[in-house]
Amino acid sequence: MQFIEKNSLNVRSAIYYLKKDDSKLEFILFPMIHVGARKYYGDISDRLAKCDLILAEGVNSKKASLLTLSYRIVRKIRRMDLITQSEGIKLSTFREKILNTDMAGNIFDEHWSALPLTLRAQLFVAVPLFVVYLFLFGTRNIIAENIAVQDLPSREDILFENEKYEKLDDLLMEKRDRKLLHNIEKLHSEERPEKQIVGVVYGAGHMRNAMSFLSNKLHYTITKAEWVNVFDL
- Give residue-wise pLDDT tens across range 175-231: 999 999 999 999 999 988 899 999 999 999 999 999 999 999 999 999 999 999 999
Alpha-helical (H) ranges within 37-92 are 38-48, 62-67, 69-74, 85-88
Q: What is the pLDDT of residue 72?
A: 80
**How far apart are the C-alpha atoms of 151 and 118, rounded to whole Å?**
31
- Give residue-wise pLDDT tens across range 13-36: 999 999 999 999 999 999 999 999
The residue count for the chain: 233
Q: What is the pLDDT of residue 162?
A: 59
Q: What is the pLDDT of residue 165?
A: 76
Ranked by mean pLDDT, which of 59-68, 86-95, 153-162 comes out on top? 86-95
**How far apart are the C-alpha atoms of 158 and 61, rounded to whole Å?**
30
Q: Which residues contact 137 (CB under 8 A, 6 or more apart)?
A: none
- Give residue-wise pLDDT tens across range 127-177: 888 888 888 888 999 888 878 666 555 444 444 455 667 888 899 999 999
Cα-Cα-Cα-Cα dihedral of 100, 178, 201, 212, to 10°? -150
Ramachandran angles phi, psi of 22, nearest 5° = -100, 15
User: Looking at the DSSP assignment, which residues form a beta bridge with residue 22?
Assistant: none
pLDDT band at 97 (very low <50, low <70, confident <90, very high): very high
**How far apart are the C-alpha atoms of 203 and 207, rounded to whole Å?**
7
DSSP-derived letter for residue 212 is H
Q: What is the pLDDT of residue 156?
A: 45
